Amino acid sequence: MLLLAMLRVRRLSVMPVGPASWKQRTCAPSRWGRMFTPFTCYLTQDKEILMSRWQWLMSRLGKQLWVRTSAIGVMGILIAVLSAVIEPYLPWELSGEVSREAVDSLLSILASSMLAVTTFSLSIMVSAYGSATNTATPRATSLLIEDSLTQTVLANFVGSFLFGIVGLIMLKVGLYSERGRIALFVATILVIALVVVSLMQWIDHLTRLGRLGETTNRVEAAARKAMEARLAQPYMGGTPLLDPDHDVPPDAMPVFGPEIGYVQNVDIPALSAFCKEHETRVYLSALPGTFIYADTPLLWVAPTAALKEAGTDPAKAEKGNADRMAWSQPLQAAFSMGNERTFEQDPRFGLVVLSEIASRALSPAVNDPGTAISVIGRVTRLLNMWAVALRAPRDVDANKAREPDYPHVHVPAVTVMDLFDDAFMLIARDGAGMIEVQLPLQKSLLALSRVGDATVAEAARVHSRMALDRAEAALPLEEEKRRVRALAQAVKEGA
């Protein structure tokens, strides 16, 4: 029961209480009863948003196709070998008439068919990735590559193939006695049953893999997961950095990135450990998803008393410079850099990818406004979740009493305007001349302005005005412009 409750962690609903809280959330009781709810809530806490560098690297490694395929392939080999090893432990009453030819025939069919099925499945996967790239956006293909069901099915096929090959080799060289052949026969039947189940799953999965609607669903789900994680930890467990322009000490020292690229993960616990060791504070300036140039600071470090003294004492200046250089390396190591953005810690990336899907659909070569309208609905759902969380009532006294997990690490929040830019800017630009796109866009902005706080309403007004300006220049009919103006005016007035 405990294991089953743990497996249902992903189905728990998380209700954030707003940016002022760090850990507070409400988990709905699972089907196994309320007794497991506190335990499963604890399991989900900080799972995605607060991962150390090594945990994040292992998480990324676990999503690689070759890892799962290799693991199940090794299991297939071990099953074939163990069928001969456990022979002395089989009871005599299990012995019977299982001919060598029967087992040989089954293994031959299994090995040859699995090789063909695996090759065919790989070609289908490549076609699906190409379809997602052409119909959606290349940024969405990573979700298809990391698809758990696809990886498991392919790994089962490869493992079954290796089981058949190794079993055939051991059978041909005479490593199985009569009782060993019985064990191998039973294992073969079980593997065939596994293959049948995998084939049924694979057939059902292939009807959706690579389709535009399914790809868009995956992107929305990934965006929702990242946004829920950030809403549960708006400051990633650190102290809120509400005004980076004024809250960062003027004598703080910048730490620049070791390379040019995107920040994929920030190891907040490592930064906190560094601050405790050196009795200092750090002020984050690069959240996951930020593109780092050579002169872009990752964070700012408040100088310690020793470093301040070194700055005024020429005799200690050289040691102070050495300390600064020594500090940069462990602080840089807390940031995982890469050539591409990832979904896990970046709540904005999902909105960017959805917006790219809509932009491609609105291109003259595709001319699919229906997909753009669908994307408008999806980003509206996501931003509505964010807006409701910001406006949700919260216990002010409880939030004041609650200390952040990592008080020495100051972290800025994701701004509402950035989220609106990611979600609506491309759609408003590319759909400026389509009334069927402009109307649902203005209606979505109107709805968001009503449910959110002042920052959400202001972002909705700004984007409504920009969309109206684009529509005024692109729409051919005055009647269409009038309808868009009426909705934009309602957004402006907050009606």
Which is more confidently placed, 97 or 467? 467
Rounded mean pLDDT, 488-495: 87
Q: What mean pLDDT, rounded, does the chain reach?
A: 83
Rounded mean pLDDT, 327-343: 90
- Percent of the chain beyond pLDDT 90? 57
Under a CB-based contact definition with an 8 Å cutoff, are residues 282 and 331 in contact? yes
Which of 127-141, 397-411, 427-441 is least confident? 397-411
Read off the pLDDT band of 243 (50, 70, 90): confident
Find how far residue 137's CA is from the centre of its chain: 16
pLDDT of residue 304: 72
Read off the pLDDT band of 182 (50, 70, 90): confident
pLDDT of residue 92: 55
For residue 368, pLDDT over 80 is answered with yes
For residue 214, pLDDT over 70 is answered with yes
Beta strands at 25-27 and 14-16: parallel, antiparallel or unpaired: antiparallel
DSSP, collapsed to helix, strand or coil, labels residue 46 as coil
Rounded mean pLDDT, 63-83: 89
Instruction: Kindly tell me the burial class for residue 462, based on how many C-beta atoms sit within 10 Å of its own C-beta (0-12, 13-18, 19 or more).
Output: middle
pLDDT of residue 50: 67
Which is more confidently placed, 83 or 445? 445
pLDDT of residue 402: 61
Q: How far is CA 113 from CA 109, 229, 277, 406, in A?
A: 6, 43, 60, 55
Q: What amino acid is encoded at 411 in this protein?
A: V
- Percent of the chain beyond pLDDT 70? 82
Which of 12-26, 241-255, 280-294 is least confident? 12-26
Read off the pLDDT band of 62 (50, 70, 90): confident
Q: How far apart are the first and last CA of the chain?
A: 51
pLDDT of residue 57: 79
Q: How far is CA 23 from CA 68, 238, 403, 411, in A?
A: 33, 11, 10, 15
Rounded mean pLDDT, 29-39: 33
Which of 5-9, 36-40, 203-207 is least confident? 36-40
Read off the pLDDT band of 131 (50, 70, 90): confident
Six-digit token pair at 484?
Answer: 């868009």
| Cα distance between residue 61 and residue 70, in whole Å | 12
- How many alpha carbons fall within 13 Å on the CB side of residue 80? 24
